[in-house]
């Protein structure tokens, strides 16, 4: 049954060869087949030996469905650190003989102890004493459970680092979440197993085939097939499809046939008979017998965690519908209670979310290195968790890591929690006959494909009408970072005669709902609950549900929705029709764990952080500061509510005496296209970053429509910006890219004004083509359209004409002018002075962080007194101009009259020419903006 652990085969796979700094040797190691038996099992092993020995050893078991080659990358990385590393293929897989017993202490765990015996005999391995090598164990999923079980049975193990594994197979495969979850401050007693859970049939049905295949005889000298010759024999085994042996029924393939009276070798594949019998038992009706539960007790790490006292790093994925955070939580609490030192990391991957990346693997290596060699920094007993945010422009999610001083709830201080009030009346939820159609919460193993797509996520999280009761919160005033397992108390009662006296099976889940109504199910996490024997008189039963542990930032403006469903396609659901009355109990509050942490940018952990009390104090200060900041950002200057931008005495200084911006002041009105000019280092970028709220000024202020700009100020929603590369997804059309971008803002679709933005950008029918077919000019215009989404009142653009040819620049110029013609304002930072002169109505010139000129383009250009006249009689015009007071020079060049008027207004010069009978066809400044710019910043002289 626990063959579902084959998901571990998806973890830690080889990524190619590198130049070795080590040697390897292959070994076929005979181990005792079973206690007291004369038979032997052969294990296929590889030992990686570093250049310098003797050295500590690391035993590296693989995930379910894999073999020793599945972890060769990790073996090489650990060997590069100086460890002797042994990888091996567990019994029943690859070239190894024997049958799969699910990490049974008498079989797989005993095998691992004999491998430690083997390491103790190798001269390259450092010994603590005869027969006792210095050894650590790490592995993922099935291999991670082996690390825990081995540490509980063999006191020669010095350190362990299990990854995305389980504590209690019964709770993992037949969960009943009316019990406990991660970070709930309650230390569960070792060996406390669910006896009436809800079977995870989707995982079991999809993954059971990884352990099927021809039965393999035991004993030495058996010629095993090559890896890949049998189903599930290598890491690339297909997950999601599978067939059972003759006479077996896999969940999801309903059969009226009774289970076989005896279990044949064909039915068991490579499983031991007792494991095969347990699977058939629970797959038949979704309920485990006491014999099956006893087997799961025997092979679960929870059976030995009370004996684990070695340093332990537990790494668990937050995207894992197979082994959720509750499994790592139980391991952490039980090992800590036994006196072990525990570090915990929650990372963004998991069986649904991906394998540990290089940085996390390096962190695991650091942990092993410190405890096996004493080198490096003491990792202590910390807690780190990853927070996944919005999509970056390249389509990948942004991730930040937070650290807390210790795992919450293990000490005297309780886990911090917030209470979110839910609203909603009592509702009736019905389960249809056959439990079809069923609610969809995700696709096991494939959830990561859709988790970050607001466009597709709704297709794979669905609650059929009438089959669920929903309760919602008010929109959040500020971000709520859920870190752990929320709890809620419900009243559940039978709603009709057919339901009374029967077990109720419900599925509780917590959605993050955006302002436009889009629902996201964090981690595709569902809490199945079985309530035994609802009262026949319809009296409600009160049950406290612990939802699966998640790490989810619920943004301001979003709300939470609790859904209590009667079906779920991922679980074995009773097929009889039923109806339940469901309501909120108690104070109608959802209790949410919130663990304050410090954001880190380097590997975990770089140094021992402050204790949890200090972190809480810091978090409180942050909350107070944020409240003051929000209050300040809401203050409005009534005289400026209609002014797009006012900058007053803006200053930004950095440590060391560098002042990037100094006493900068200017004002921008509606309908203007303002060019921000200045040489490199003038402070333009710093000014734009302060305008966007990305950095704080040292002095002065920025007012946008009367609101002071601070990081996160609400008025920033009235600013659109394009300051970096567009990062569009090339396989999507321009329109789809814009819709995807807008969805990440969490604002209502009707506020996007996509059509208006596209009309201004002038892309026409090309908006429906894939972006990969776009020219550079079309991409730039699409980027401008993206910045224009929501029709912001202030549009800020950094070098919008970069990479464009002259026709494209002309088109871009028209786009910006049309946008300003709507009564909005455009701020352009550019180094193309000629384009600024033709595009902008106004200009601000900066030099060394200070303002040197501001005004209309024409005023800036004509400020030096240089003028050009087109007349019918150039020679006569020269004579007239030279006679005017203040005119320093006048001459003819290429048929045009050029003059330095000094202090004489150009209009007075034109009037003098007309009085003298000279026809003036055109009069204007002689200098270009470039000439004026160079003179203003001290890098040019006036033309003479």
User: pLDDT tens for residues 38-88?
Assistant: 999 999 999 999 999 999 999 999 999 899 999 999 999 999 999 999 999
| All residues at 6 or more sequence positions from 90 whose CB lies less than 8 Å from its CB, including other chains | 43, 61, 62, 96, 100, 108, 111, 142, 146
* Cis peptide, bond prior to residue 723, ω within 30 of zero: no
Output the pTM of the full model: 0.60
pLDDT score of 819: 85
> Is there a single domain that holds both residue 816 and residue 732?
yes
**For 886-901, what is each residue's pLDDT tens digit?**
787 888 888 888 887 7
Per-residue three-class SS string for 687-734? HHHHHCCCCCCCEEEEEECCEECCCCCHHHHHEEEECCCCCCCCCCEH
Answer whether residue 152 is part of any domain.
yes
* Domain extent for 293: 1-358+368-378
Average pLDDT over residues 490-506: 91
CA distance 389 to 901: 60
Alpha helices (H) along 354-440: 358-373
Q: Which residues pair with 655 in a beta bridge?
A: none
Please, which pLDDT band fits residue 929 given cuts at 50, 70 and 90?
low
CB crowding 745-766: b at 16 or more within 10 Å, else e: bbbeeeebbbeebbebbbbeeb
pLDDT score of 693: 86
**pLDDT > 60? residue 926:** no
CA distance 419 to 16: 49
Q: Report, in angstroms and rounded to the nearest whole number, the Rg of the chain calculated over CA atoms.
A: 35
Answer whether residue 234 is part of any domain.
yes
Mean pLDDT for the chain overall: 80
Please, which pLDDT band fits residue 516 given cuts at 50, 70 and 90?
confident
Q: Which letter does DSSP use for residue 400 in this model?
A: E
**For 326-378, what is each residue's pLDDT tens digit?**
999 999 999 999 999 999 999 988 998 888 989 899 999 999 999 999 998 88
> What tokens were used for 397?
């999610």
CA distances from 808 to 351, 691, 763, 800 (A): 48, 28, 12, 11
pLDDT score of 304: 96
Answer whether residue 632 is part of any domain.
no
Answer whether residue 189 is part of any domain.
yes
**For 592-602, what is each residue's pLDDT tens digit?**
998 877 776 44
Average pLDDT over residues 194-198: 68
CATH of the domain at 520: 2.60.120.260
Q: Higher confidence at residue 487 or residue 265?
A: 487
Please, which pLDDT band fits residue 812 given cuts at 50, 70 and 90?
confident
Q: Higher confidence at residue 185 or residue 229?
A: 185
CA distance 787 to 718: 11
Please, which pLDDT band fits residue 649 given cuts at 50, 70 and 90?
very high
CA distance 849 to 651: 8
CA distance 71 to 82: 17
C-alpha closest to that of 2 among 55, 65, 59: 65
Place of tokens 């996201």: 520
CA dihedral 63, 69, 74, 75 (to 10 degrees): 120
> Is there a single domain that holds both residue 78 and residue 211?
yes
Average pLDDT over residues 125-147: 96
Please, which pLDDT band fits residue 564 given cuts at 50, 70 and 90?
very high
| All residues at 6 or more sequence positions from 13 whose CB lies less than 8 Å from its CB, including other chains | 66, 70, 73, 235, 355
Place of tokens 């609802």: 534
**pLDDT > 60? residue 222:** no
CATH of the domain at 748: 3.40.50.300
Q: Which letter does DSSP use for residue 261 in this model?
A: S
**pLDDT > 60? residue 845:** yes
Backbone angles phi, psi at 541, to 5 degrees: -105, 135
Task: Give the total number of structural domains in the chain.
Answer: 4
**Cα end-to-end distance, the chain, whole Å:** 92
| All residues at 6 or more sequence positions from 195 whose CB lies less than 8 Å from its CB, including other chains | 170, 288, 293
For the chain, percent of residues with pLDDT exceeding 70? 77
> Is there a single domain that holds both residue 885 and residue 922?
yes
Average pLDDT over residues 478-485: 90
Please, which pLDDT band fits residue 490 given cuts at 50, 70 and 90?
very high
CA distance 666 to 644: 12
Answer whether residue 89 is part of any domain.
yes
> Chain-centre distance of CA 65, in angstroms?
28
**pLDDT > 80? residue 219:** no
Place of tokens 């969805």: 743
Please, which pLDDT band fits residue 90 given cuts at 50, 70 and 90?
very high
> What tokens were used for 91?
């019994």
> Is there a single domain that holds both residue 891 and residue 848?
no
**pLDDT > 50? residue 236:** no
CA distance 130 to 121: 9
C-alpha closest to that of 702 among 673, 678, 668, 674: 668
Please, which pLDDT band fits residue 461 given cuts at 50, 70 and 90?
confident
pLDDT score of 528: 95
Q: Which range, of 217-231, 291-305, 388-402, 929-943, averages the lowest pLDDT?
A: 217-231
> Is there a single domain that holds both residue 209 and residue 185?
yes
> Is there a single domain that holds both residue 789 and residue 919?
no
> Is there a single domain that holds both residue 75 and residue 221?
yes
> Is there a single domain that holds both residue 756 and residue 807?
yes
State the Cα angle at 109 between 46 and 117, rounded to 5°: 55
Name the region of 383 (left: φ>0; alpha: ψ -120 to 50; beta: rest): beta
- The strand ranges marked E within 134-222 are 135-140, 157-163
**pLDDT > 70? residue 856:** yes
> Is there a single domain that holds both residue 77 and residue 197?
yes
Average pLDDT over residues 865-885: 86
> Is there a single domain that holds both residue 434 and residue 372?
no
pLDDT score of 229: 35
CATH of the domain at 887: 3.30.70.100
> What tokens were used for 490?
């419900």
**pLDDT > 50? residue 107:** yes
**For 163-178, what is each residue's pLDDT tens digit?**
999 999 989 999 988 7
Please, which pLDDT band fits residue 927 given cuts at 50, 70 and 90?
low
Query: At 209, is the secondary structure helix, strand, or coil?
Result: helix
> Is there a single domain that holds both residue 797 and residue 889?
no
> Is there a single domain that holds both residue 21 and residue 46?
yes
Whether 547 and 525 have beta carbons less than 8 Å apart is answered as yes
Answer whether residue 726 is part of any domain.
yes
**pLDDT > 70? residue 813:** yes
Answer whether residue 408 is part of any domain.
no
Please, which pLDDT band fits residue 862 given cuts at 50, 70 and 90?
low
> What tokens were used for 255?
């059969």
**For 687-698, what is each residue's pLDDT tens digit?**
988 998 888 999
Place of tokens 């003797």: 54
**For 395-451, what is each residue's pLDDT tens digit?**
445 567 777 777 876 665 677 889 999 999 999 999 998 888 888 888 776 676 555
Answer whether residue 575 is part of any domain.
yes
> What tokens were used for 886?
């203040």
């Amino acid at each position: 049954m626990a063959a579902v652990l084959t998901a571990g085969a998806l973890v830690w796979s080889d990524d190619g060869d590198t130049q070795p700094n080590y040697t390897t040797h292959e070994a076929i190691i005979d181990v005792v087949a079973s206690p007291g038996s004369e038979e032997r099992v052969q294990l296929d092993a590889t030992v990686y030996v570093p250049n310098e020995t003797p050295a500590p050893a690391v035993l590296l078991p693989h995930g379910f469905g894999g073999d020793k080659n599945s972890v060769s990358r990790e073996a090489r990385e650990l060997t590069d650190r100086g460890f002797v590393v042994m990888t091996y293929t567990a019994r029943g897989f690859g070239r190894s003989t024997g049958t799969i017993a699910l990490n049974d202490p008498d079989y797989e765990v005993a095998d691992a102890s004999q491998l430690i015996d083997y390491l103790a005999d190798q001269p390259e391995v450092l010994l603590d004493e005869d027969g006792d090598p210095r050894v650590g164990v790490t592995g993922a999923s099935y291999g991670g459970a082996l690390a825990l079980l081995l540490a509980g049975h063999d006191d020669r193990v010095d350190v362990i680092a299990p990854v995305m594994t389980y504590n209690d197979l019964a709770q993992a495969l037949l969960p009943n979440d009316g019990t406990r979850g991660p970070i709930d401050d309650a230390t569960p007693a070792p060996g406390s197993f669910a006896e009436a859970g809800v079977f995870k049939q989707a995982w079991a049905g999809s993954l059971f085939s990884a352990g099927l295949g021809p039965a393999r005889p035991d004993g030495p000298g058996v010629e095993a097939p090559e890896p890949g010759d049998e189903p599930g024999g290598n890491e690339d085994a297909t997950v999601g499809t599978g067939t059972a042996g003759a006479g077996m029924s896999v969940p999801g393939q309903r059969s009226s046939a009774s289970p076989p009276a005896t279990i044949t070798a064909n039915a068991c594949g490579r499983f031991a008979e007792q494991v095969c019998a347990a699977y058939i038992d629970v797959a038949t009706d979704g309920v485990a017998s006491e014999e099956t539960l006893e087997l799961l007790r025997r092979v679960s790490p929870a059976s030995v965690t009370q004996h684990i006292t070695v340093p332990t790093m537990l790494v668990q994925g937050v995207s894992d519908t197979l082994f959720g955070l509750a499994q790592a939580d139980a391991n952490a609490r039980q090992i800590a209670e036994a006196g072990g030192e525990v570090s915990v990391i929650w990372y963004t991957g998991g069986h649904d979310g991906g394998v540990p990346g290089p940085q996390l693997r390096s962190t695991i290596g650091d942990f092993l290195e410190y405890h096996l060699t004493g080198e490096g920094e003491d990792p202590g007993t910390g807690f780190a968790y990853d927070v996944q945010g919005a999509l970056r422009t390249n389509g990948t999610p942004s991730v930040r890591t937070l650290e807390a001083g210790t795992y919450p709830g293990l000490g005297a201080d309780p886990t911090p929690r917030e209470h979110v009030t839910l609203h909603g009346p009592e509702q009736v939820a019905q389960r249809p006959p056959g439990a079809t159609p069923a609610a969809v919460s995700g696709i096991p193993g494939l959830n990561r494909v859709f988790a970050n797509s607001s466009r597709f996520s709704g297709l794979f999280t669905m609650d059929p009408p009438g089959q669920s009761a929903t309760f919602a919160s008010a929109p959040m005033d500020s971000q709520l970072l859920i870190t752990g397992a929320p709890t809620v108390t419900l009243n559940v009662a039978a709603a009709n005669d057919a339901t009374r006296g029967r077990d109720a099976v419900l599925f509780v889940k917590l959605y993050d709902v955006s302002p436009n109504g889009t629902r996201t199910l964090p981690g595709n996490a569902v809490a199945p609950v079985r309530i035994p024997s609802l009262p026949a008189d319809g009296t409600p039963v009160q049950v406290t549900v612990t939802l699966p542990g998640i790490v989810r930032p619920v943004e301001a403006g979003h709300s939470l929705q609790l859904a209590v469903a009667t079906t779920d396609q991922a679980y074995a659901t009773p097929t009889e029709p039923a109806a339940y009355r469901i309501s909120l109990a108690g104070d109608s509050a959802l209790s949410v764990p919130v663990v304050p942490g410090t954001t880190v940018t380097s590997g975990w952990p770089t140094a021992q952080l402050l204790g949890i009390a200090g972190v809480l104090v810091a978090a409180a200060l942050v909350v107070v500061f944020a409240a003051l900041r929000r209050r300040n950002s809401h203050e409005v200057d009534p005289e400026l509510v209609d002014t797009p931008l006012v900058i007053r005495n803006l200053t930004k200084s950095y440590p060391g005496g560098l002042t990037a911006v100094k006493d900068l002041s200017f004002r921008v009105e509606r309908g203007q296209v303002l060019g921000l000019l200045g040489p490199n280092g003038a402070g333009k970028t710093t000014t734009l970053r302060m305008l966007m709220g990305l950095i704080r000024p040292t002095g002065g202020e920025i007012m946008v429509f009367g609101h002071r700009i601070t990081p996160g100020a609400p008025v920033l929603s009235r600013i659109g910006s394009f300051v970096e590369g567009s990062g569009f997804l090339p396989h999507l059309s321009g329109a789809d890219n814009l819709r995807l971008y807008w969805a990440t803002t969490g604002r209502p679709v009707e506020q996007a004004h996509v059509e208006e933005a596209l009309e201004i950008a002038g892309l026409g029918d090309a908006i429906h083509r894939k972006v990969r077919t776009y020219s550079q000019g079309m991409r730039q215009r699409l980027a401008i359209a993206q910045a224009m989404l929501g029709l912001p009142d202030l549009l800020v653009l950094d070098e919008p004409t970069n990479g464009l040819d002259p026709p494209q620049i002309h088109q871009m110029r028209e786009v910006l002018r049309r946008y300003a013609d709507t009564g909005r304002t455009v701020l352009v930072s550019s180094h193309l002075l000629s384009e600024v002169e033709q595009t902008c109505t106004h200009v601000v010139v900066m030099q060394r962080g200070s303002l040197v000129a501001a005004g209309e383009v024409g005023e800036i250009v004509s400020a030096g007194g240089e003028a050009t006249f087109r007349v019918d009689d150039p020679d006569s015009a020269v004579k007239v101009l030279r006679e005017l007071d203040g005119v320093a020079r006048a001459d003819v060049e290429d048929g045009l009259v050029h003059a330095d008027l000094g202090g004489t207004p150009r209009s007075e010069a034109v009037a003098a020419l007309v009085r003298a009978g000279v026809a003036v066809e055109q009069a204007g400044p002689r200098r270009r903006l470039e000439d004026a710019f160079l003179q203003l910043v001290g890098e040019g002289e006036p033309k003479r």
